[in-house]
Every structure is written in C-alpha cells, then in structure tokens.
C-alpha cells in the first residue's frame, strides 16, 4: 500500500528498431515521392521491426530501460499495462508476455486498446491505482509493430507508420507529478480508421485475406479534421481545471500523426510551434508509442526541466483522445 497522493513518472525508456525505412525507399515500393510525404506529413523516415521481433520484445526492451532509469527492479512493480493495437496475439495480453520477459512478480497485467491515445489512457489508469493507495509502482508501456498491419501496396497509409516502444514507470513523488487528465471517445467516428478483419465480425478467411482486410484502412483527410479539433479541445479540458493558460505549458508532447495537424493544434491553442515537441521526421506515426517515445526523447534532450508543466496530448482510432498535465 502507498499513502502518497502525488504520482509522477519516475523512470523512462524506449526501444527503437534498427532498420530505417526512408521515403526514398518507399518511392520504389508505391507511387509516391519523398517530397509528397515530407510536405504533407513531416515524415522523412520510420523504423521497421525485424520479422522475428514482436511487440512484446520491443515493449520488454523499453521496460528494462525505464526500470533502470527509475532505479527499480522488475520485482518492485505492482502493475503492468501495455498500450497497443498490435499485440503479439489476441491473447494472452501482451502485458502478460512482458511480465514474464522482464521477470516481474505475478502482479496484474493487461492491455489497453485505444490506438494512439493508449499511452495517455495507460498513465491515467496507473495514476488512479497509485493515487488510491492500492499500488506503489506501475509500468506503462506503449509499443507497436504497425508494420505488421500496414498494407505495403496502399500509398495512402504505408508512408505514415512505423514501429517502436516507449515505457514509463509511475510511482509516488514529493513534488508535482500528474496534475490533471482528460479522456474521451467517440465511437460514431470509429470507421475513419480501423483494422476491419481478424476479429469476431470478420474472422480470417481466404476472402478476407484476398480483400486485404487485415490491414489498416483509413479516411485520412476526414480524420485530419477530427484530430485538430479533438486534440485542441482535450488540451483545454486538461488545463482548464488547473487554471492554466497556454503560456503556462512549457512543452506539449503530442501524438505524432502529422506535422500539419500539430501546427494547426498549436495555432488553435495559441502556442508557437516551438512549444510542440516533434520527432515525427525520424519515426513517423507509431500509434501509442509515438507520444511515449516523444516524452522519453524530450527528457533525454533536456527539453523538460524540473518544475516544468508539460502537456501530453493524443487522439487515435476509436476515435479516442486524451490529455494529461504533468509537473516535472
């Protein structure tokens, strides 16, 4: 049991696959250009996991790095949450696979399936357990092997996605920590991005494979409009209860879907673009892992200092969205 009422991120880690897939290489795979991809999305390259590397492998690597950063051992964990839409398999949950890989105790372990908002949902869930006093240390990992559900013949989607993992250890802190959160979902817009087959609605058949229904389908421009509004609204909902204005936020760590979306969100929030952390150029969109890896790198690069108030902000398939204010 833990009596602390303040919960913060006490360790961070990431895992990025070695293989780089550049826009120039994609030019040889589909009818696209480096210029189109970069100007429309801000992406130059993305990482692709090895064939023998599954989501739980990347998640475990990120988890080990986060535990090391926190100065904790796997046995110290009381809860493991993995945010992913590319689990190793439907079940067991990827979190259970990670528990075994890192040598954690038989603590609760489960996955959260809310696409790109998963890291923020995961942190919010872990925050409740620690704040209530039920648990002391929680591991939240966002890991995706999007390359395994990407249609490499569809230029409208295959240029966007990449693989990777980021992890955070949460625990009691004396100062700052998670100050507020806002989560939401709109199932009415769920058709804008989805993986149609492989579930109970359309189980795998020869036809579902021929129809390429086991890959991400997306209505990009419609999703774009939702994304801008939803991310800006979520930011407002998370900052309003704290009486914070845009200028009180030192850095926004957003889901990295498209640089144009992020510039539009910055404008709506009344922020200059330099207040929005970006790494989309080198990784593309890694779904839940995007905001996790962005947070890890922002800290590693010294962009976040003690006492800073930062905002994590994401939206994704579902549609889902979430924003969190953290005092570092």
Residues at the site binding ligand UT7, with contacts judged by CB under 6 A: 32, 36-37, 40-41, 116, 155-156, 159, 193, 220-221, 223-224, 227, 257-258, 285, 316
Chain position carrying tokens 């569809």:
154
Greatest C-alpha distance within the chain: 58
- The span from the CA of 268 to the CA of 184, in Å, is 19
The residues that are catalytic are 116, 255, 285
Q: Of 219 and 237, which has the nearer Cβ to ligand UT7?
A: 219
Q: Pick the closer one to ligand UT7 by CB: 34 or 308.
A: 34
**CB nearer to ligand UT7: pick between 156 and 246:** 156
User: What minimum distance in Å lies between the beta carbon of 222 and ligand UT7?
Assistant: 8
Nearest-approach distance from CB 38 to ligand UT7, in angstroms: 11
Question: Which residue number, 180 or 263, has a Cβ lying nearer to ligand UT7?
Answer: 263
Q: How far is the CB of 36 from ligand UT7 (least distance, A)?
A: 4
Nearer to ligand UT7, 261 or 298 (CB): 261
Rounded least distance, CB 114 to ligand UT7, Å: 11
Q: How far is the CB of 192 from ligand UT7 (least distance, A)?
A: 8
Nearer CB in complex with ligand UT7: 64/155 = 155
C-alpha gyration radius of the chain:
19
- Residue 212's contacts (CB-CB under 8 Å, 6 or more residues apart) are 151, 153, 154
Looking at beta carbons only, is 49 or 244 nearer to ligand UT7? 49
CA-wise closest residue to 117 among 48, 191, 193: 193
**Rounded-to-integer distance, Cα 224 and Cα 160, Å:** 13
Nearest approach, Cβ of residue 258 and ligand UT7 (Å): 4
C-beta pairs of 259-268 under 8 Å, 24+ apart in sequence: 259/41, 259/42, 260/40, 260/41, 260/42, 260/224, 261/224, 261/227, 261/228, 261/231, 262/42, 264/228, 265/227, 265/228, 265/231, 265/232, 265/235, 265/313, 268/228, 268/229, 268/232
Contacts of 62 (CB under 8 A, 6+ apart): 13, 14, 15, 141, 143, 165, 166, 167, 292
The encoded tokens of residue 283 equal: 């990784």
Tokens of 253: 């760590």
Q: How far apart are alpha carbons 80 and 261 in whole angstroms? A: 31
Q: Please report how many Cα atoms fall inside a 13 Å half-sphere around the Cα of residue 52, on the Cβ side.
A: 0
Residue showing the smallest CB distance to ligand UT7 in the complex: 220
Contacts of 199 (CB under 8 A, 6+ apart): none
Strand 163-172 to 7-15 pairing: antiparallel
CB of 76 to ligand UT7, least distance (A): 33
> Pairing between strand 79-83 and 138-145?
parallel
């Amino acid at each position: 049991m833990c009596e602390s009422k303040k919960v913060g991120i006490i360790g961070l880690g990431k895992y990025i696959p070695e293989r780089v897939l550049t826009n120039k290489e994609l030019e040889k795979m589909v009818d696209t250009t480096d210029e189109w991809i970069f100007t429309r999305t801000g992406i130059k390259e993305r990482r692709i996991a090895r064939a023998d590397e599954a989501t739980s492998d990347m998640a475990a690597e990120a988890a080990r790095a986060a535990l090391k950063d926190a100065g904790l051992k796997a046995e110290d964990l009381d809860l493991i949450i993995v945010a992913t839409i590319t689990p190793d398999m439907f079940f067991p949950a990827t979190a259970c696979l990670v528990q075994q890989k890192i040598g954690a105790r038989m603590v609760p372990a489960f996955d959260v399936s809310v696409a790109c908002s998963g890291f923020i949902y995961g942190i919010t869930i872990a925050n409740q357990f620690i704040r209530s006093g039920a648990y002391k240390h929680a591991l939240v990992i966002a890991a995706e092997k999007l390359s395994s559900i990407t249609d490499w013949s569809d230029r409208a989607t295959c240029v966007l996605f990449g693989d990777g993992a980021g992890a955070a250890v949460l625990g009691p802190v004396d100062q700052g920590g998670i100050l507020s959160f806002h989560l939401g979902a709109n199932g009415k817009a769920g058709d804008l991005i989805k993986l149609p087959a492989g579930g109970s609605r359309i189980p795998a058949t020869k036809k579902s494979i021929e129809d390429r229904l086991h890959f991400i389908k997306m209505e990009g421009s419609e999703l774009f409009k939702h994304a801008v509004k939803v991310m800006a609204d979520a930011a407002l909902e998370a900052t309003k209860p704290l009486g914070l204005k845009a200028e009180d936020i030192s850095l926004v760590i957003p889901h990295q879907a498209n640089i144009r979306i992020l510039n539009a969100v910055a404008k709506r929030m009344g922020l200059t673009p330099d207040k929005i952390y970006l790494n989309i150029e080198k990784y593309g969109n890694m779904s839940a892992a995007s905001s996790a890896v962005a947070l890890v790198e922002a800290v590693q690069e010294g962009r976040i200092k003690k006492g800073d108030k930062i905002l994590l902000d994401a939206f994704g398939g579902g549609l889902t969205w979430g924003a969190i204010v953290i005092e570092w």
